[in-house]
Structure formats: C-alpha cells, structure tokens
A and B are shown apart, each in its own frame.
Chain A
Amino acid sequence: MSANARALPPPAPWWLRWPGAAVVAAGAISYRVCEGDLAQLTSARARDAVAGFVGGFWPPAHSTEFLSSLVRPALETLGIAYAGMTLALFVAAPLSFLAASPRVFVTGGDQPTRLHMALHHGVRALLSFMRAIPELLWALLFVRAAGLGAMPGVLAVGIAYAGVVGKVFAEIYESVPRGPAVALATAGATPVRAFAFGVFPQAMPLMTSYTLYRLDCAVRASAVLGLVGAGGLGQQADVALRMFQYDETATIMLVLFGLVAALDGVSFLVRRRLERSRGLFPHGRVALRNRCLAVVGGTAAFGATLQALDAPLWEMLLPSSVTHVAEFAAGMLPPDLGELGKVGTALVETLAISVFGTLLAAALAMALAYPASRKLFLQELGDEAAKRFMVRWQLRRVVHSVARGVLNLGRTVPETLWALLLIFAVGLGPFAGALALALHTAGVLGRLYAEALEEVDLGPARAMMNTGVRPGLAVLAAVLPQAFTQLIAFTLYRWEVNVRASAVLGLVGGGGLGAQLHVALGLFQYPQAMTLILGLLVLVLAVEQLSARLRRALGSGGQGPRAAVAAW
C-alpha cells in the first residue's frame, strides 16, 4: 500500500492536468491581443477581395513576353536556394559535430574534456543565434550592409539555414543507436573513428533526406527574399501585387508551385537511390570515382551559381568587406534601451500572432488530416460498403482530393505571400499576419499529422469497424489516441518555427515586431533595430525552452529528432 502511494507521481501543474483549458485560454488571449475578428472574414470587404482575387487570378498572365521575363527571376530563385543551401552545409556540417552532445563521442566511463564541453556550448549558442533571426531579417540586414542583389539572399539563406541544419544534424547524431560505436570503441577505436564508422553511417540517410527537404524550403524562402530586394521571384510578385496585376501574381505562384514540385520529384529520385546506398565510404574504385565526381561537380556548380548570380561570396573574406560588415554591426551598438515598453508590446503581439496562428492551423490540420490521408480515408480504413455505392465513393474521393489540394496550396505559398494577399481581405495588422501564418502552417501540419496517423497500428481501428463503427469514428477513437503525443510534438515544434515567422510578417504589414523593425531600419535607426532583434532573440529562446519542457512533459512519445526533422 504505502509503496504504491509513494510510487504515485507528484501532481502535475494545472496546465498539464487540464491541457484543454490552457489551450483554450491561450487561444482566447492571443485572439484578443492580435486584434482578431473572425467576423471580418465574412464582411463585404473580404468578399470583395476574394472575388477580386478569383476574378483577377483567372486566367493567369501567359503572354510570351511576361513568361520570358520570369525565366531569369525563376533561375535566380533556384540559384539563391542552391547556393544558400550549399553555403549552409559548408558551415553547418563542421559545426554539427561540436553541437552534438559530447557524450556521442565518449564511450565507457570516460568524461568529456572541458574544452570539448566549452566548444559544445559555444557552438550551440552560435547556432541558436543564427536560426533565431529569420532569413528574411538576415536578408534585410545584408541588403543594408552589402546592397541589393542576390548576394544578401545567398548569405541570408546560408546563415539562417546553417543554424537549423546544424542543430538538426546534431540531434540526429544524438538519436541513432550508440551500440555499434560503443562496440568499436571497446575494440580500441578512437572516438573520431568510432563516430565515423559507428554513428555517421546510421545518421546519413536521415541527414540526406533532411538536406533535400531543406533545399525545398530554401526555394520557397528565396522566392520570398525578393520582397526585401534580395532578388528572385519575390521581387516580381511584390511588384505585381502592388500594381494589382493579379493575373501576373497567379502566374508567378504557379511558377513557384512548379519549381517546388519539380524539386520534390528530384529529391524523391535521390532518396530512392539513397535507400540502396551502402554506407559512408565508397566501396570499390568505380564508386570512389563517382563519389569524387559528385563532390567536385557539386562544388563547381556552387561556384558557377555564385558567378551567374553575380554574388562573389569569396569577396566577403576580403579585409575591406570584413571591416565594412564590422562597421555596420558596430553602428547597431549599443542597442537603444529607451523604448523598452514599445519593444515589449511588439513582442507580446508577435507571441500572440504565433500562438493564435499555430492553434488555428492545428485545428484546420486536424480537420483535414484524416480526409487527406489516402491510406486511412480511401485504402486501409475506407468504407468497404461505400464502394458499392458509386456516388458516395466518388464523393469520398473528391473530398480526399480537395483536402489534399488545400493542404498543398497552404504549404506551397509562403506565409509572407499569404499575408500580402490577406491584407486585402482583412486589412493591415496582426490579424492578417495570424491568418497567413495559420494557412501556411495548416498545410505543413496537415501533412505531418496525416503521416503520423498513417504510421500507427491500425489493428484496433479495424477491430472496431468490424463491430459496425463508422470509419471516421474508428479513426477518432482508435487511431488518433495512438498518434496524439506525436501530433502535439509536431505542433510545438512548428510553434517554435512560427515565432520567428511571425516576427517577419510585420515587414509586409502583418503586425508584430516586424512592423517596428521595418520602420526602424527604414529610418536608419540601427540601435533601435538592434533592441528589437535582441528582444526577438530572447523571445525565440524562451519559446524554445518552453516548447522543449512541454515536449518532455508529454513523455517519450512526442520527442525525438524525427519530429524535429519533420517539423523544422
């Protein structure tokens, strides 16, 4: 008896005992703070805007002249993405080894050295700094420091993505089974050798597919960077929207859609090829030659891309450039602490945008994930009886396609572009930002949710359906509970991403910190801008900590690098 009583865990804080209440409270507060007004969505103005879009978007502009004028920006977008991602890999790959917990390199009863621990913490802090500032903000800073063009775009993608990629790589190293490396170490291998032969080969498939996914993101991100003058398709979209050329905007979005889809295809092929890969080192001379050719070719393509983009990255290493950037950075110091109250308001608004956007997105994604899952909705748990009624079955297929289409659209259009569109419907301000964030995030989360739902054991749901329960209800009762912690983990990871994103939305009129930052940078008030950036840094790190705590409180089900890889 007493042993049992002692084994009971201490009572959890209220927000864990009544998580629903906490979520509702957070939603309501953030809704108020970001000036939410869902009624606006049905207002005459919103209807006009949507009608204007729908009428204006169709047909998309397709004159040869306009299309040929898009070729260069499209290539530029691809180039910025590729060069930025390569730069990010060059920076992140070495840093990731230090960012990984030193325990990865240590076996048996040994302790990591002090130097290693110090380097580890330093690199971790550096990586969080690099990714705490969103790429659009990096681009804005580099445009100020280095001038218009593709160069700031490449640098922005490179730095911001290096921060994310380095962190995720480190988490992957930490997550793979350590047994093989320990076995090698007890056979006398040095830590580095045990890592190279015992850890790295296990991590590589996940690292590669994550890199490909990130390249995908980089294309979308670099399309947006044009909004602040960093080249690419975004500049065209901005101009077209501001001149109310909806048909041209539609074409630009379609081009972006096509680019991302093409890249998806390529990365699918690469991933399939990788499944047959056989480890870190090439086996045999032909494989060695191919591997060397791939590395040399990739690096050459990197150089050629930089050349074509007219972004001489190596000039950044010249003393004159270094002093120029250092002077620019010094101009931002010391931060202006005069208006901390204003900064605080902006931070609260940014936080509210991220919370409301994420919650709304989670609700949308939850509703769409089941119909969007082919396996659950049509195949494995499809209503067998319904197949005999053609109309009902076709209806089901239509619902599936629509759900998938909505999620794909939400995902492909970056939140910044959504914000530009929504501003016409609900006006400038944080609510437009929150809605934009929700639409994009719903697309991302919907896919992740669907994948998580498909991975659970379907046996209980089938058993339930055999007793006459409808498929939808069976999913709710027997599939959702199994995947629930995973879904919450995805949502929390996405929230971390969204805090950064919502800081950027202000740059295009979506309220929050970005709006003030835009003003400060426009007026060359660099110390004020620095204060805002530092505030953002604090907010991002605080949210990261909170999210990590919540995930830990969820237990083992909702953690792990798979969730991080999927959601980041």
Chain B
Amino acid sequence: MKWRELVDNRRPPKTFGSRKRRYQARACTGKANFARFNLFRDVDRCYGDGMAGRAPAAFHLSGVGRAFGERDALREVALRVEPGERVAIIGPSGAGKSTLLALLNTSLRPTAGAISILGQDPGALSPSRLRSLRSRIGTVYQQYLLVPQCTVLQNVVAGRLGRLSLWQAAAALVRPSETERVAEVLAGVGLATRIYDRVDRLSGGEQQRVAIARVLYQDPEVILADEPLSSLDPARAADVLSLLMRAGARRTLVVSTHQLGPVLPHFPRVVGLRNGRVVFDKAREAVTDADLAHTYGGSDGELATTGMTLRTGTQPTTLLETPTGTA
C-alpha cells in the first residue's frame, strides 16, 4: 500500500534549520506536501535538547490587552510558550480564556501590546503570509465548528485548505489515495467507519473527534483547544483528552479549561486567568490552593462547596500528582 510506504519511509528532518526551511518553502509555494504528512509527529528529534532556546517561541506576548468596546477582556498579559510546551490555561467563565486563545490563533488582534506567533507578528503580515502562518496553527473549538451538512471526509479535508487549492481539496474527496489518508487519520481518532457519514448524524463526542481529526489532518505545529471537554460526560472526556494528548504529544499544545481534575495531570505548566489578568503562571507542582482560590475567586471554603478544593487536610490531592497511567 502506497500510503503505508510513505508513512514507514518518512524521514524526519534532522535539524530545526531544515525544518524551518521546509515551512518557508511551504509558505511560499502554498502547495500540498503530503509526502511529509504524518499523523502523530515525532518532534522529539526536531526539538532536541538545546534547540528550544534558539528556536523562536511558539507564542510570545508582552503587555497584551484586548478590549471589546468599553470592556477589557484581557489586560497586560505577558506569556511565553516555548515550542513543544504543554500549557493549560484555567480560570472561571468570562476570565478571558477564549479571548486569549483567539489572540493566539490570530483570529483576534490585540488592542494593546505586542504579540509574536512562531516568530512572526500577525499584525504585520500580508494576507497570504498570515494565511500560511495560520496553516501552522490548529484550533479545536469549543463548539467544534464543523459543517453539519457535509460528510466527515469533507470536513476533515477542509482542515488542510490552507495548503491545498480549492481544486486539490475537491480532488481529495474523489481520489482514493487521499481518501485513504483521511481514513488513516480517522482511524487514529476511532471514527474509521464513519468517513462517509454526515456530521449532523454524529453524536457530540464523535463530532469532537472529527474536529480533532480535522486539526490532525491540517498537521500544524501548534494545537490550541478551547474548552475541549466542556460538553462531554466524564468517560467521553477522558477519551477525548487522551486523544488530544496523543495528537499534541509532539507539538506545542495550549488548552483552556475549567475542568481541573481530569486535565491538569497532563500539563506541566498551568496559567491562571482572572478578570483578564494572569494571576499565576507556574509549574503544575508549584500551584497552591491559594492560587486556585485566587483564580476562582472567594475563599477556600467557597472552593470546597464547588468541589474544586485541592487538598483535604495535609494530604496532597490526586489533582496535582504526576500522571501515572495515561498520557
């Protein structure tokens, strides 16, 4: 099988330099590069020790603010995310998590401060360069944002529209070789048999998987996920989370959530947002009850009533333990 050969013979670039050139070439031609396509990217070899320092930060925000009319959704946000990092952004509803993610995927522009994404300032780019930057950032939206009347196949293929022309994308729906590639991605998220089903016939959890498959097919360097678990029951949430972790394992991954329990064990770094400000930005092990209380407002007693407390007595909670099984 041709696609198998491609997968098995893939040869990841040895240095970050070649990787960078590759993306520049891609940005210039805008052509599809399916030969390099792989599902769960092996970035370890790209982001080897010592490389992270020299590579541009995935995201670099300094003094960033975003106002909607009179209301400030974000104020004075400073954040630096290195390539390959996994960051969880937590905070109550209305804290500005979604706004922050929208800034990171360039669908919003900051009204104050400077932002640099993968080494580029999105505000200074020409439309076509902005598009090629965007094609390197994948987003899983809270509302999935799939086209309900279309098949799973078409929705997944659409993820790659940043690099495929309209006709290449249309051809991808007909050519068996491309269809097989999509099937491969869908098998990775457990939806291999639903490739020709219409999205509006799928359950919410399945639609979430399609949204993840779309991002995987896009093959970005960075994956952003906005409240990926918000509308799923606990069992589905665990499934989707492990899927997301696998997809983001070798990429930069930024997830916003307010479900701390299942999410935090997977993220070495946690950023707390409240009222549009960064309250804390720490390694997971260093996060204290006080931090969470501050983020979610009120006292520890209030936290306890909402079931969000970290520790009972002096015992460390599972919340802050390092993951053992999953990941």
Interface secondary structure of B, over-half rule:
loop
B171 to chain A, nearest CB (A): 9
Interface assignment of B196: CB less than 8 Å from any CB of chain A: yes
Would you list which residues of chain A between 193 and 239 have a CB under 8 Å from chain B? 193-194, 196-198, 201-202, 204-205
State whether B107 touches A186 (Cβ < 8 A).
yes
User: B198 touches which one: A193, A278, A288 (CB < 8 A)?
Assistant: A278
Report if A299 contacts B (CB, 8 A).
Answer: no
**Interchain CB contact under 8 A, A193 and B150:** no
Which of B108, B147, B157 interacts with A109 by CB under 8 Å?
B108
Inter-chain contact B133/A279, CB cutoff 8 Å? no
Stretch from B162-170, B256-264, B270-278, B318-326 forming part of the interface with A: B162-170
Within 8 A of A (CB), among B162-185: 162-163, 165-166, 169-170, 173-174, 179
Cβ-closest chain B residue relative to A196: B166
A553 an interface residue at 8 Å Cβ cutoff?
no
With A187-B161, A188-B132: A202-B173 Cβ-Cβ less than 8 Å:
no
The stretch from B6-14, B135-143, B241-249, B303-311 touching chain A is B135-143
In the assembled complex, the CB of B46 is this many whole angstroms from the nearest CB of chain A, namely 20
Please tell me if B134 contacts chain A, counting CB pairs below 8 Å.
yes
Q: Does B127 contact A (CB under 8 A)?
A: yes
Question: Is A107's beta carbon under 8 Å from chain B?
Answer: yes
- The smallest beta-carbon distance between A209 and chain B, in angstroms, is 13
| B149 touching A201, Cβ below 8 Å | yes
Give chain A nearest CB distance to B184 CB in angstroms: 17
A179–B141 touching, CB < 8 Å: yes
**Residue contact A108 to B166, C-beta cutoff 8 Å:** no
Question: In the complex, A288→B136 CA distance in Å?
Answer: 31
Bound-complex Cα distance A567 to B187 (A):
46
- Selected contact of B158 from candidates A198, A202, A204, CB within 8 Å: A198
Measured CA separation A280–B151 after assembly (Å): 10
Asked if B98 is at the interface of the complex by the 8 Å CB criterion, the answer is no
Residues of B within 8 A of A204 (CB): 149
Alpha-carbon separation in the docked complex, A380 to B132 (Å):
56
Check: A183 CB closer than 8 A to any chain B CB. Answer: yes
CB distance from A404 to the nearest CB of B (A): 32
Interface check A345, CB cutoff 8 A? no
**Contact in complex: B153, A283 (CB < 8 Å):** yes
Shortest Cβ distance from B141 into A: residue: A183
In the complex, A220→B109 CA distance in Å?
53
Q: How far is the CA of A182 from the CA of B161 in the complex (A)?
A: 12
CB distance from A97 to the nearest CB of B (A): 14
Contacts A108-B106, A283-B173, A285-B174 given; does A189 touch B161 at CB 8 Å: yes
| Cβ of A465 under 8 Å from chain B | no
Q: Does A184 contact B (CB under 8 A)?
A: yes
Chain A 103-129 against B: per-residue CB contact (8 Å), 1 yes, 0 no?
000011110000000000000000000
Residues of B within 8 A of A180 (CB): 145-147, 158
B154, CB-defined interface residue at 8 Å: yes
In the bound complex, do residue B107 and residue A193 qualify as a contact, i.e. CB atoms below 8 Å apart? no
Give the distance in Å from the alpha carbon of A193 to the alpha carbon of B159 in the complex. 11
Assign chain B's interface to a size class: 35 or more
Q: Give, as a whole number of angstroms, the nearest-CB distance from A71 to chain B.
A: 41
Closest chain-B Cβ to A156's Cβ sits at a distance in Å of 34
Q: Tell me if A66 counts as interface (CB < 8 A to partner B).
A: no
* Interface check A192, CB cutoff 8 A: yes
A281 at the interface (CB under 8 A from B): yes
Contact with A along B112-142 (1 / 0, CB 8 A): 0000000000000001000111111111010
B169 touches A188 (CB 8 A): no
Contacting residues, chain B, for A110 (C-beta < 8 A): 127
Please name all residues of chain A whose beta carbon is closer than 8 Å to the beta carbon of B109 when the two chains form the complex. Answer: 108-109
In the assembled complex, A461 has its CB within 8 A of some CB on chain B: no
Cβ contact within 8 Å between B150 and A201: yes
The interface residues of chain A lying within 8 Å CB-to-CB of B169 are 193, 197
Instruction: Give bound CA distance, A194 to B169, whole Å.
Output: 11
Confirm or deny: B148 has a beta carbon within 8 angstroms of a beta carbon on chain A.
Answer: yes
Closest beta carbon of chain A to B181's beta carbon, Å: 15
Residue of A nearest to B175 (CB): A285
Answer whether residue A20 sits at the interface, using C-beta atoms and an 8 A cutoff. Answer: no
Shortest beta-carbon distance, B252 to chain A, in Å?
Answer: 16
What per-residue 1/0 map shows which CB atoms of A150-189 lie under 8 Å from chain B?
0000000000000000000000000000011011111111
B208 at the interface (CB under 8 A from A): no
Closest beta carbon of chain B to A102's beta carbon, Å:
14
Query: Which of chain A's residues has its CB closest to B152's CB?
Result: A278
The residues of B that contact A283 with a CB separation of less than 8 Å are 151, 153-154, 173-174, 196
Residues of A within 8 A of B218 (CB): 187-188
- Our pick among A185, A188, A278 for the contact of B133 (Cβ within 8 Å) is A188
Interface residues of A (CB under 8 A from B): 107-110, 179-180, 182-190, 192-194, 196-198, 201-202, 204-205, 277-285, 287-288
- The interface of chain B, by Cβ under 8 A from chain A, is 105-109, 127, 131-139, 141, 143, 145-151, 153-154, 157-159, 161-163, 165-166, 169-170, 173-174, 179, 196, 198, 215, 218, 220
